[in-house]
Amino acid sequence: MSVPRDVTAHAVLGARGIVKQFGPVDVLRGIDLELRPGRILTLMGENGAGKSTMFRILAGQLQPTAGEITLNGESLRLSSPHAAHAHGIHLVPQEPMLLPELTVAETMFLGRLPMTGAIFRHVDWKDVRRRAQAVLHMLDLDIDIDRCAKTLSIAQLQLVECAKALLHDCRIILFDEPTSPLTSHEVDNLFTIMRRLAADGCTLSFISHRTEEVLEISDDVAVLRDGRLVDSAERGSFDRARLLSTMVGRTLRDIPRREASYVTRQTVLEVDDLASEPSFRRIGFQLRRGEILGLAGLVGAGRTEIAETIFGVRRPTAGRVRLAGEVVTGKPCHDLIRKGLVYVPEDRARHGAVLSMTIAQNVTSGLLERVRQSAGLLSGADETRLGETAVRDFRVRCAGLDQPLRELSGGNQQKVVFSKWIATGPKVAILDEPTRGVDVGSKEEIYELIEAMARDGMAVLVISSETEELVRLCDRVLSLYEGELVAELTGEGITAAAVSASYLGSANVEGAT
């Protein structure tokens, strides 16, 4: 792969004394960074440490309260994303939000369509297609330029964003937690592209919570904590222990498999021969009061589709679901919530929250009957009380209950979504990737909350792509392969090796029953 010459121009992007305040809250407190050409700088930190805020300032989406951005030593004012693009700076968001009906080529040229014609100006579609195809070929990406954006996976959308950056001569590319929604194979593909870009002189920076990824891809590492830069060095100076202890400000213990079990004999959820073709078929299991049951499998194995079918989002093609002995197959979600079944979805931005609403409004959106007064109006006092309880119990870092959810870090958004449904006091909770995008310190807090739910008698179904998470939490693990259950692991048989082997279709898995 060869990147155009103007993209490989050496550019050093600097940040000096960057301060950012949202009202009375100090989000960034005097950050100094330097991004150098041909190198990958990784920014680490717990949720709420200020990583994404720093990137949004570098990309012109936010203005710093104080401090200076520099490019090759010259002061730079980035008043908008357009201004950042003009200086060759492009931000690849965690979950790119594109216009779904546009083609890949149209997406890449959105806002910058080339025009032709001296008198009657019109879009030069031939040039659009030629240049879009050329840059995808340059990156060795096998993506049809005429394909509709809504049919792309998140991994493909991110790679299209990389191509878009190069297409518009952006030589500084920022990746905001790009690997969070990706499979290991997709991560490998992305890292291959990033290494190529760095080798051709581009300046890259990357946000991740995953220490293994940081130690694999980084040239330089900077760690933020509570809005301050607390450590920075070349990758070789860091190991996993130093990264984790620096992030959270304390030495973390290895997370062991939990010893206590709260499983009772009382069955609260029964799934019999459930199917929703072609996603999954013949799914059957029971979930008992106080039990944490894990659902493992590769992306596309049908895990989320099973959860959505149980919760009434999808219509089953066969089978039956019972909740506390009552048949609830195909009942609408609002009925199931009232009966004691809740679902915390994987994609919080699309299905779990309303980002424009306040924290308090999001927390109480699943509890409207509790905060509605006799005249149909909402009780502000009850809304505040429930919001304060959620913020306290789930340790949400925020400026106040009136802060819009979109202003919180991804991990704190997840905590708000989590608290919203748990506050309804359900009998059964389905948690789909409950710690996705959550840093290592906050993960343990969420693990403790899930354990507390089981201890209090709730039945919990956990869907997770992280093997260690299933080992840490679950009393049982069911493994899916291409839409069918292929293994059940219990007790000491739940090991990382056994879980990983089980959902690859192996029939001989130690610990399977």
> Which 3-state string (H, E, C) describes 35-94?
ECCCCEEEEECCCCCCHHHHHHHHCCCCCCCEEEEEECCEEECCCCHHHHHHCCEEEECC
Question: Residue 368: what pLDDT?
Answer: 54
Domain ranges of the chain: 5-98+169-248, 257-340+427-506, 355-424
Asked whether this chain's domains 5-98+169-248 and 257-340+427-506 adopt the same fold, the reply is yes
Question: Residue 199: what pLDDT?
Answer: 92
Q: 245: buried, middle or exposed (CB in 10 Å: 19+, 13-18, 0-12)?
A: middle
- Supply φ then ψ for residue 95, to 5 degrees: -130, 90
Question: Residue 174: what pLDDT?
Answer: 94
List CB contacts of 254: < 8 A, sequence separation 6 or more. none
For 5-98+169-248, CATH number out of 3.10.180.10, 3.40.50.300, 3.40.630.30, 3.40.920.10 equals: 3.40.50.300
Average pLDDT, the chain: 84
* Stretch 41-53: mean pLDDT: 86
User: Which fold does the domain 257-340+427-506 belong to in CATH?
Assistant: Rossmann fold (3.40.50)
What the block records as the tokens of 260 is 């206590």
Radius of gyration of the chain (CA): 24
- How far is residue 223 CA from its own chain's centroid? 19
* Lowest pLDDT segment from 249-253, 255-259, 384-388: 249-253
Tens digits of residue pLDDT in 73-110 = 899 999 999 999 999 999 988 767 667 788 899 888 88
Q: Which letter, b or e, does each residue of 386-404 get, where b requires 16 or more Cβ atoms within 10 Å of its Cβ?
A: bbeebbeebebbbbebebb
Question: Residue 325: what pLDDT?
Answer: 94
* Lowest pLDDT segment from 376-385, 442-451, 474-483: 376-385
**Share above pLDDT 70 across residues of the chain, in percent, rounded to a whole number:** 89
- Supply φ then ψ for residue 422, to 5 degrees: -65, -30
pLDDT(6) > 80: no
